[in-house]
Amino acid sequence: MIDYCILGSGISGSTIANILSKKHKVIIIDKAKGIGGRSSNKKIQNATLDHGLQYFSPKTKTFDKFLKKLIKYNILKNWEGNHLDFSFRKRLFGKKIIGKHGNNDLCKHLVKKIKIQNHEEIFSIKFKRKFWLIKSMKKLIISKNLIITFPYLQSKKLAQKYLSKDILNLNIKMDPNITLMVSEKKLIQNPISSIKTNNRIISWISNENSKKRFKSNRTYWTIQTSYKFSKKKIDFYKNKKNLYSKIILNEFCKIIGAKKQDLQIVQMHGWKYSYNRNKTKFKSYWDKKLGLGICGDWFIGPNAESAWLSALNLFSKIKKTRLRN
């Protein structure tokens, strides 16, 4: 019998799964083919491109200590280089920590001993006779407890019948993001590692070669669009990739000084629920009677650390109650 079924293998899901698995039987269900949620990456030939989470930048002592431990274990590393903030015309300082092979290395490390079922999209959940019945297209999973780590709107839609009014009435609007990955046809020794900008179309540019994970005869760039651009285009990007790519590339060339004829589009990806800029009054959700929990970055703030802290907060609530084993 499964003690905890966890939906989602992102940072919050991987973190709560890792903690609970030390004393309980845990399974993770994820609809994606890989691990990591928004910390996942794209493999292009021998190159690894972080198309979601760009880096970890600890704000609290506890998260800083956790990341230092993973650096010591050779799972994460510091991203050295020339990081610029064009919105203030200065260099960006502060820690930038990345995965040695990809930013989902953190999640992979946390769940390496946990059973994971990928390519499983959950269609319904039902609480019946003290157990959770979790249905996907392929199978039925029965678990004593259920933890959901989806973005707010997806969590609400799936578990609406079982959530308190406090959670159902939250006014959360998660911001979208569109990411374009491109390569230059030859290796350019560009001194720029990343650029943060207040451009009307582009908000972030990353030189993926500067992360020193791979060797290539090409230069790879990850471009993330601004909130205003993403909000207008997210619902149409799949059918208008060529048009949107041209718009983004025009701005990219102006910022970097690249020539459009030297660039090749690798891939475009849309994140409909990228991040929540506003804090809630909660850090996680736990219903001890049902054995239903929810955690995720959207409870606390728009970064990876918030997802990690939310998972820790959920565990503290579970620990205080009588665990349903």
Choose between 94 and 68: higher pLDDT: 68
User: pTM for the complete prediction?
Assistant: 0.94
Residue 294 pairs in a beta bridge with: 148, 285
Question: Per-residue pLDDT tens for 168-223?
Answer: 999 898 999 999 999 998 887 778 999 999 999 999 999 999 999 999 999 999 99
Do both 180 and 232 map to the same domain? Answer: yes
- Residue 261 identity: Q
Domain containing residue 234: 175-275
Do both 205 and 259 map to the same domain? Answer: yes
**CATH (domain of 21):** 3.50.50.60
- The CA dihedral of 271, 277, 283, 286, to the nearest 10 degrees, is -40
* pLDDT above 90 coverage of the chain, percent: 86
Within a domain: residue 75?
Answer: no
Question: Per-residue pLDDT tens for 36-92?
Answer: 999 999 998 889 999 999 999 999 999 999 999 999 999 999 999 999 987 655 555
pLDDT score recorded for residue 325:
46
* Mean pLDDT score across all residues of the chain: 93
Within a domain: residue 60?
Answer: no
- Residue 29 identity: I
Question: Per-residue pLDDT tens for 212-240?
Answer: 999 999 999 999 999 999 999 999 999 99
Is residue 93's pLDDT more than 70? Answer: no
Do both 259 and 305 map to the same domain? Answer: no
Do both 112 and 131 map to the same domain? Answer: yes
3-state secondary structure (DSSP) of residue 314: helix
pLDDT score recorded for residue 167:
96
Residues in the chain: 325
Q: Please write down the long-range contacts of 201-209, taking CB distance under 8 Å and 24 or more positions apart.
A: 201/225, 201/226, 201/229, 201/247, 201/248, 201/251, 202/226, 202/229, 202/248, 202/251, 202/252, 202/255, 203/227, 204/54, 205/252, 205/255, 205/256, 206/50, 206/54, 207/81, 208/47, 208/48, 208/49, 208/50
* pLDDT above 70 coverage of the chain, percent: 97
Do both 306 and 192 map to the same domain? Answer: no
